[in-house]
Structures are given as structure tokens and as C-alpha cells.
Structure 1
Amino acid sequence: MTQPQPKKTGIHKQMVFRLFVIVLGMFGFGYGLVPIYKAVCAVTGVNVLSRQEAQAEPMAKRNTQVDTSRTVEVVFDANNRGTWQFKPEKRSILVHPGEVVSVKYDIHNMANRDVEGQAIPSYLPKKAAAHFHKLECFCFKQQPFKANEVKALPVVFVVDSDLPKDVKTITLSYTFFEVGLPSAKAD
């Protein structure tokens, strides 16, 4: 003899509710990852490029006074890793602290394929880095290039008037390299 089957409607409703809670939790977790990632990067200093980007906005809003009594030479250097031709349009310029300056770097993708490149800046002397503020820079993000494409990309910067008086020359050096290269397979 067969026994009557209990009603499963209540079990189905519980299962649907649990799945809904799980989906909602997954959405909330995914949505929360971006601010968590930014906070972790800010604390650990892992994502240096985003720190530079964050510094640009407050500097752009700040009222800078141009110190015409002082002149600083800014020397531009370019290094590349990969199939690039990479060079500044000018080797050096003279600037007054507080003056907003724009220069360009010419970048030519010599590869016969589309690629993305990234520039990493460095400064000499090291103490000048805290006083060199980029307002706009191709180094803030990866740059896409079509096969054999040539671009002139800008760097807009201000040398802070708080730059130590003994610093007469600042070298801004970039290393430009291809990102997303497949890693070499171990034999």
C-alpha cells in the first residue's frame, strides 16, 4: 500500500527563498569588491598608478602661484621594452615652479598586431618626485595601439613651488612596455 505524499509547496518556497538570498549575497559581494580592492591597494601601496591618478585631482584644484624668480630644467627620458619606438618630442625644457606645462611623447607600435602598452615613470633626484605633480599623463592607464600606429601622448605637469632650492634639474624617465604578453612556458 502506498502512503500519501506530503505537500512539497512549503519546501519549494524555502528553496526559492534560499536561492534568492544566495544570489542577492553574491551580487552584493561582487558590487563590494571594487571599493574593497581600492582600499586594500591604498593601504598596501600595491597599485602605484592609481595613487598618481588620485594625486592629480587635488593638485589640479589647488591654486598654484608661479615662482618666476626660479627656473628648473626638466629633462625627459624614454626607455622601451618590446617593439616600440618611444621618445619625447623635446629632450628638456626650462620651467618655473607652479607653472602648468604640457609636453608630448611620441610612441610608435612597430608590431604588425594590435597591442596595449603601459608607461611607468621614475624621477631623479628622488626627492623631486614628491614635488612633481602630473595632472594628465599617458602613464595613468594602459594605451591601446593598432598595428604600426603612431601616437603623440601628452604629459601635463606642475613642479611644486615647495621644491627644495638645491634641485636645479629634474629628470622624468618613462619605461614603456607591452602589457598582456603571454608568459614563457617552462620546458
Structure 2
Amino acid sequence: MTPEAQARNKRRTVWLLSLLVLGMFGFGFALVPLYSVLCQVTGIQSVSIRSAGDGNINQPTGGSAVREDPRLVTIKFDTSVHPNLPWDFSPRKRNLKVHPGKLYQVDFAAHNHSSEVVTGQAIPSVAPWQATAYLNKLECFCFSQQTLTGGESVDMPLRFMISPDLPEEIRSVTLSYSLMKLENTQSESKKHEKG
């Protein structure tokens, strides 16, 4: 290969590598809007929506109360448990009629059927996805991991409010929780028991 051809190949390689670096840099910036689109399409509550919603909760200005809407919205609670988690998990109430702008609490019951300490994490989702930004959770068991000893039962509270800004056409909102087993936490607790 001639020195001229080698120089041309080197220039082409440098050019292609430069394009690859620029493409990777651009993809890194595109991940945030792509994540938002994915959350909207699937109805999963994104971190940014949860943070924005939690920051606006119950913060009256000038000592006035949060505006309560006279209309009623039906909230449905749905739960599922991953097959490898030996728990029962269900809401104490399946449906609740709520006034937007008013604070409500619902308890979810969990029971560990096994004889071992097991840790789970609830993953929330909202349907229709358009209602996600209007469902504000003040307190939720889904904010942290839940650990139950063998045979233990517990009530886990959810305190929430539907924003009065919820579009009029949305009359019903379903809040679903998928409960998953956390393997790493369980193995760490076994290590502590042995040590």
C-alpha cells in the first residue's frame, strides 16, 4: 500500500471515529427526552414528574387552603405480586371517589407467607398516563423498600391528592402497584445473620 493510500485510510478512520464520538455525545443528550416519551407511552411515573408533583403538594400561599374541586373522580387501586415474592398484597379499598384538591389515605395490606425475612419494592404506574402529573403522593410505601419478617403482616399507607387541574374529561384514574422481590437485600440480610 502506498504512503498516500495509508494517509487516506488514516484520515478516513479519524473522520469515522470523530463521527462516532459526536453520535455518542448526541445520543447521551437524547436519552432524557427519550426516557420521558417512554414514561408517557407506558404510563410509568418518571422521576421528574414525581419530583415536580411532590414539590407542588399542599403548599398553600399566603396561608390559604388548597383549592378543592366539587367534582368526583373515581380512583381504582390495582396490585400485582411477582411470582418469586411470597407475599399477599392488596388495597384495603379497591375503589374510592375523591374530590380533586382534597387529601386522602388508603392502606395496603401485605403479608409474608414465608418463614424468612423478605424485602420487596412496589413500582407504581398510573392509567391513563395523562393523569400521572396530577396524582400527587405525599406518603407512599413505594418510596422505599419494604422488609417483612417471616409470617409478618403490615398495613402500608398511601396518602395522596388529585390536583384540581386534572382535565375535566378524566373521570377515572387507576393506580397500579407491581410488587417485586429484591434479591440483593435478602442476601445481604443473610450475611448479617451469619456474621
Fold shared, TM-score > 0.5 on shorter chain:
yes
- For structure 2, list consecutive stretches of 5 or more residues without a partner in the other structure: 1-30, 37-45, 188-195
1:52 match: secondary structure: helix
Per the alignment, residue 139 of structure 2 pairs with 136
Distance 1:144 1:57, change over 3 A: farther
Mapped partners of 2:132, 2:49: distance in 1: 13
Mapped partners of 1:151, 1:53: distance in 2: 27
Per the alignment, residue 88 of structure 1 pairs with 91
Distance 1:87 1:142, change over 3 A: same
Mapped partners of 1:50, 1:104: distance in 2: 26
Runs of 4+ in 1 over 4 A off after TM superposition: 43-46, 48-51
Per the alignment, residue 178 of structure 2 pairs with 175
**Matching residue's letter, 1:135:** L
Mapped partners of 1:53, 1:144: distance in 2: 25
User: Is the CA contact 2:50–2:133 (under 8 Å) kept in the aligned structure 1?
Assistant: no
Scaled by the length of structure 2, the TM-score of the pair is 0.65
Alignment map for 1:1-187 (pairs within 5 Å): 48=46, 52=50, 55-62=53-60, 63-68=65-70, 70-81=71-82, 82-180=85-183
Scaled by the length of structure 1, the TM-score of the pair is 0.67
Mapped partners of 1:96, 1:115: distance in 2: 37
Structure (1 or 2) with the larger CA radius of gyration:
1
Per the alignment, residue 31 of structure 1 pairs with none
2:130 match: secondary structure: helix
RMSD: 2.6
Mapped partners of 1:178, 1:73: distance in 2: 30
User: Is the CA contact 2:53–2:133 (under 8 Å) kept in the aligned structure 1?
Assistant: no
Mapped partners of 2:122, 2:158: distance in 1: 12
Distance 1:122 1:107, change over 3 A: same
Mapped partners of 1:74, 1:109: distance in 2: 27
Distance 1:54 1:108, change over 3 A: farther
User: Is the CA contact 1:50–1:140 (under 8 Å) kept in the aligned structure 2?
Assistant: no
Deviation at 1:111, TM superposition (A): 1.5
Mapped partners of 1:60, 1:173: distance in 2: 23
Distance 1:50 1:110, change over 3 A: farther
